[in-house]
Chains A and B, each alone.
Chain A
Amino acid sequence: MRPLRLVLLYVRLGVMNEAQYRANFFIAAFQSLLSVGVGLAVLALVYSHTPTLNGWTESELLVIVGVQILLGGVIHATIQPNMERLVDEVRDGKLDFALTKPEDSQLLISIRELRLWQAVDIVSGAIVVGVGIARLHSTIGVGHSLGFLLLLLLGALLLYCFWLIMATGSFWVVNMWFLAELFEGVFQTGRWPIGIYPGWLRYSMTYLVPIGFAVTVPAQALTNRLHWTTVVVAICFGAALTAFTRWFWRFGLRRYSGASA
């Protein structure tokens, strides 16, 4: 239970830290509102020219957009700030402070930062998902809802692994200022059902950059498109990627030579 206690400790610290800047909540809420607004405007534009996009109706696509906004909130509040801090510390040699602590280094570097107000996107994403489901007029069973939540967690895990693999690259490449831009650009592909992309892009978006698994698959659970084989593949892929990420992190760490080198 020690890791869990550690996570809770850092969450408490993060919340206390963010609570000093309460006005930032309103800024974050306004920005979240704007990005939802853009999402809706783009959908309206697309569906003013076509009734379905690759078999997805407007309400169904709303679910995907919601999932993407929600996961974006998770990334911006927890994963990205930690990974950016990691990259900076590797460059400046400050990672020593984390490595000398008697805890698992991967756990520690993954939980130190929390941008609480960015989590507003989790709420607004969930609302968009809710509106999308309500407009579908179909009831969703307990099984599918649980599947959705499970796949959503799995999606967050996959994106965490992807970010950590990229950030671990900083042990080799010193100048990594492009990471956030790169991720942001690629993450936008998740706004659309993965089926619209040409084959080569679809495969790289599912396995290379696991956006397909992270966004489209949970949305499939809510729109009755999910096949159980997809769930099995997703879980196996998640396990494999987690193991690889762990190995890669340790492999990269061996190259780290500290502040004085």
Chain B
Amino acid sequence: MSVSAVRRESAARSMLDFYATTIRTQIQTQFQYRVSLYMYTVGMVAEPVIYLVVWTTIARSQGGMVDGLTPGALAAYYIVWTLVRTMNIVFTPFGWEWRIREGELSGQLLRPLHPIHYDLASFAGQKVPWIVLYLPIGAALSLVFHPTLHPHALQVAVFLVAIWGAYVIRSLNQFSLGMVTFWTTRVGAIFQVWFLAELLLSGRLLPLPLMPHWSQTLANWLPFKYTFYFPIEALVGNMSTASLLGGLGMQLLWIGVGTAVMTGMWRLAVRRYSAVGN
């Protein structure tokens, strides 16, 4: 092997090592705060339960179906939604203000890795306790709302890949969004516009087929759909094999776009950074 090949291999190995260690530490850290975590989850579960109850009420009043969705299908959508939402929790762009103000970023800049790796690894680790805690909640919700869920093997497989795709896409986008903090301190309003667009165009608020047609078309051109609607629908819907794999392809595309935007934004942003204090 040439010297550069050896160097590449050891770089890959130390990266892997970094991810494994960070994930392990995060799992152990998070399991210490079980009560807090459960309380947080209860607050989070309120959102899908509200949507589910509202749309079930509508479906019942329409004679058992709204746009072809039965209460059972809606229940399946929103119960899987909760799991996907858990996967979608990433470092919030609001956190950048704290990182910059507290000088937290100075420490990160000294590390040999791009800071996105730290966020990706630590939030990936936190998923494990969250999913473990979600399982009883998911079971309880299933007992109450009777979802109709009959996925076949390929759907399960695509779902398991797609939730991680969603996680990476959302991590990249929120990271880029957080970069705005380097230019202005009044970021709240900007972030809120973004979250609003996400709420309406991702399938978070309601399954996309229930939206007006023009907004469904718009959603096809944006990344949001691939972080909520696509992973959920992969498991609960009846998508063809082609559209299942096509969806994964689109996720890959958005990961590519997200990486490019994130890298560019980071380069521009970090030039504007000057450490505070100390």
Contact B62 A48 (CB under 8 A): no
Contact segment of B52-60, B123-131, B150-158, B228-236? B52-60
A contact residues around B192 at 8 Å (CB): 31, 34
Q: Which residue of B lies closest to A205 (CB)?
A: B46
Known A30-B189, A49-B66, A185-B45; contact A192-B39, beta-carbon cutoff 8 A: no
Contact A186 B189 (CB under 8 A): no
- Inter-chain contact total with CB atoms closer than 8 Å: 89
A182 CA to B33 CA, complexed, in Å: 15
Contact B196 A34 (CB under 8 A): yes
| Interface status of A189 (Cβ within 8 A of chain B) | yes
| Interface status of A230 (Cβ within 8 A of chain B) | no
Q: Which residue of A lies closest to B212 (CB)?
A: A48
Using a CB-CB cutoff of 8 Å, which residues 184-219 of chain B contact chain A? 186, 188-189, 192-193, 196, 199-200, 205-206, 210-212
A191 CA to B47 CA, complexed, in Å: 11
Contact A46 B58 (CB under 8 A): yes
Contact B199 A182 (CB under 8 A): no
Interface of B is mostly: helix
Q: Which residue of A lies closest to B37 (CB)?
A: A178
Q: Which residue of A lies closest to B35 (CB)?
A: A173
> B19 → chain A, closest Cβ, in Å?
26
We find that the number of chain B residues with CB closer than 8 angstroms to chain A is 36
Using a CB-CB cutoff of 8 Å, which residues 165-222 of chain A contact chain B? 173, 175-179, 181-186, 188-189, 191-192, 196-198, 201
Contact B40 A198 (CB under 8 A): no
A184 CA to B40 CA, complexed, in Å: 10
A248 CA to B205 CA, complexed, in Å: 38
A201 CA to B186 CA, complexed, in Å: 38
A contact residues around B205 at 8 Å (CB): 42, 45
Contact B43 A186 (CB under 8 A): yes
Interface of A is mostly: helix
B contact residues around A179 at 8 Å (CB): 39
Known A31-B188, A46-B58, A188-B47; contact A182-B53, beta-carbon cutoff 8 A: no
Known A34-B196, A38-B196, A41-B200; contact A50-B50, beta-carbon cutoff 8 A: no
Interface string of B17-48 (1 = CB under 8 A from A): 00000000000000001011101101111110
B contact residues around A198 at 8 Å (CB): 53, 144
Contact B50 A192 (CB under 8 A): yes
Contact B61 A181 (CB under 8 A): no
Contact A175 B36 (CB under 8 A): yes
Known A49-B67, A186-B43; contact A38-B50, beta-carbon cutoff 8 A: no
> B8 → chain A, closest Cβ, in Å?
41
| Interface status of A257 (Cβ within 8 A of chain B) | no
B contact residues around A191 at 8 Å (CB): 50
B contact residues around A41 at 8 Å (CB): 200
B contact residues around A175 at 8 Å (CB): 33, 36
B contact residues around A192 at 8 Å (CB): 50, 53-54
A contact residues around B58 at 8 Å (CB): 46, 49-50, 53
Known A41-B200, A185-B46; contact A50-B62, beta-carbon cutoff 8 A: yes
Contact A178 B212 (CB under 8 A): no
A contact residues around B43 at 8 Å (CB): 178, 181-186
Our pick among B40, B189, B211 for the contact of A45 (Cβ within 8 Å) is B211
Using a CB-CB cutoff of 8 Å, which residues 47-66 of chain A contact chain B? 48-50, 52-54
Contact A45 B45 (CB under 8 A): no
24 interchain pairs (CB within 8 A)? A34-B193, A38-B200, A45-B205, A45-B206, A48-B212, A49-B58, A49-B62, A49-B67, A50-B61, A53-B58, A53-B61, A173-B35, A175-B36, A178-B40, A178-B43, A182-B39, A185-B42, A185-B45, A186-B43, A186-B46, A188-B47, A192-B54, A198-B144, A201-B49
Binding site for B on A (CB under 8 A): 23, 27, 30-31, 34, 37-38, 41-42, 45-46, 48-50, 52-54, 173, 175-179, 181-186, 188-189, 191-192, 196-198, 201
Q: A198-B53, A201-B53 are in contact. List 16 more A-B contacts (CB 8 A).
A: A34-B192, A41-B200, A46-B54, A46-B58, A50-B61, A50-B62, A50-B66, A52-B61, A54-B61, A175-B36, A182-B43, A185-B45, A188-B47, A189-B46, A189-B50, A191-B50
